[in-house]
Amino acid sequence: MQMDLRTVSIKPLRNTFDHVARRLGADKPASRYQEGTFDMQAAANFHYRPTWDPEHEIFDATRTAIKMADWYAFKDPRQFYYGTYTLARAKQQDTAEANFNFVETRGLAAMLNDEVKATSLKLLVPLRHVAWGGNLNNASMCAYGYGTAFTQPCIYHAMDHLGIAQYLTRVGLLLGSEEELDAAKDAWMTGDAWQGLRRYVEDSFVLKDPIELFVAQNVALDGLLYPLVYETIVDDVLSSEGGTAIALLTQFMTEWFGETRRWVDATLKTAAGESAENKALLEKWTTHWRDRAASALMPVAQIAVGGRADTVVAEQVEQFNTRLAKAGMTV
């Protein structure tokens, strides 16, 4: 049964802010994503040049070589503003908390065979440093990128990376102890398997172009690392060897990658679709960083799959290329 409750109705003078209406093409009701995103960044009459970067304005589209007629052409398909973002993550962290709790209270970590446990520790714990790098890089993209439509998801992504680094730390403490964190840090600093990846991450720290950084971090590195580690190695290889508990502890990462790649793909598609020049530049960057990421990940994959690393990484690259093709890029 429909109930028709009455409220006093007053005709509004307008439906939304003018700057939003201009983007919608008419004064019509706007979503909270739109009102919280469109033109939120200052775009005119800056008072002073940054003393730390006098070549540029405070917000300056020329910090990147990518050119857009309108930086608000970017859309986050998840329509995340702060409220929807935190609600989504709060739900995911509920599940993660339940999973950690399940593994802990059932003593599932103790039931893992030594080999799976050792592999998991060796593979996953150093990755917390990689995620920390992702946090730093996405903060850069947010700070030096142009237009809230692009920069807003970057701060969410930065905090996500921090969250992931913290979940990986908990995995280390759950399966092992502080010593495992120290061992993983040593491996990260000096172990042969990790030096290619650490070099990659440190090289990304000095990139100045926020969109090239987006490609190096969010497209190439994460685009290969997450499916390789969390989908292929954890969900397939380790699970088949009795490591389902590990899959529970990393479920957040698997789901997070599935969700966030929609934003990453949409961003690439919009930027590449803008012009042939953008497309060529994005393809060049993607190819360069994909090849570096693939070779840096090879010894990491070996930790879990040994001699099959070549094949496993090659498969990831192939899937990556297919994914990029859908975003309109040939790499």
Partner 1 sequence: MDMNVPKKKLSLKEKYSHMTRGLDWEPSYQSKDDVYPYAKYEGIKIHDWDKWEDPFRLTMDAYWKYQAEKERKLYAIIDAYAQNNGHLSVTDARYINTVKLFLTGVSPLEYMAHRGFAHVGRQLPGAGPRVACLMQSIDEIRHAQTQVHSLSNYNKYYNGLHDFRHMHDRVWYLSVPKSFFDDAITAGPFEFMVAIGFSFEYVLTNLLFVPFVSGAAYNGDMSAMTFGFSAQSDEARHMTLGLEVIKFMLEQDPDNLPIVQRWIDKWAWRGTRVLTLVAMMMDYMLPKRIMSWKEAWEVYFEENGGALFKDLARYGITMPKCIEDITKEKEHLSHQAWATFYNYGAAAAFHTWTPDEDEMNWLSEKYPDSFDKYYRPRLEYWRDEAAKGNRFYNKTLPMLCQVCQIPMLFTEPDDPTKICYRETQYKDDKYHFCSDHCKAIFEHEPEKYIQSWLPVHQIYQGNCFPEGTDPTAEGFDPLAAVLAYYHMNFGRDNLDFEGSEDQKNFDAWRGVATSND
Tell me how far apart the alpha carbons of residues 116 and 7 are, in angstroms, rounded to a whole number: 63
Which part of the chain contacts partner 1 (CB under 8 A), choosing from 64-72, 151-159, 273-281, 285-293? 151-159
Given the complex with partner 1, which of 185 and 288 has the nearer CB atom? 185
Among 25, 26, 48, 105, binds partner 1 (CB under 8 A): 48
Q: How far is CA 152 from CA 37, 39, 81, 185, 203, in A?
A: 8, 12, 8, 31, 24
Tell me how far apart the alpha carbons of residues 184 and 262 are, in angstroms, rounded to a whole number: 31
| Residue the block writes with tokens 């930790």 | 303
| By CB under 8 A, residue 47 contacts partner 1 | yes
Closest separation between CB of residue 87 and partner 1, Å? Answer: 5
Q: For partner 1, what does the binding mask look like between residues 196 and 235, x meaning CB under 8 A?
A: --xx--xx-xx-----------------------------
Helical residues (DSSP H) of the chain, grouped into ranges: 18-24, 32-37, 82-105, 108-111, 114-124, 127-144, 148-175, 178-190, 192-205, 210-214, 222-226, 239-240, 244-249, 251-274, 276-305, 309-326
| By CB under 8 A, residue 136 contacts partner 1 | yes
Tell me how far apart the alpha carbons of residues 289 and 286 are, in angstroms, rounded to a whole number: 5
Among 6, 52, 192, 306, binds partner 1 (CB under 8 A): 52
| By CB under 8 A, residue 158 contacts partner 1 | yes
Q: For partner 1, what does the binding mask look like between residues 232 and 271, x meaning CB under 8 A?
A: ----------------------------------------
Largest CA distance in the chain: 72
| By CB under 8 A, residue 18 contacts partner 1 | yes
Closest separation between CB of residue 166 and partner 1, Å? Answer: 5
Q: How many residues bind partner 1 (CB under 8 A)?
A: 82
Q: For partner 1, what does the binding mask look like between residues 77 and 116, x meaning CB under 8 A?
A: ----xxx--xx-xxxxxx-xx------------x------
Write down how long the chain is: 331
Q: Interface residues for partner 1 in 274-293 (CB under 8 A)?
A: none
Tell me how far apart the alpha carbons of residues 132 and 125 are, in angstroms, rounded to a whole number: 12
Q: Which amino acid is at 2?
A: Q
Q: For partner 1, what does the binding mask look like between residues 162 and 181, x meaning CB under 8 A?
A: xx-xxx-x---x---xx--x
Q: Which amino acid is at 275?
A: S
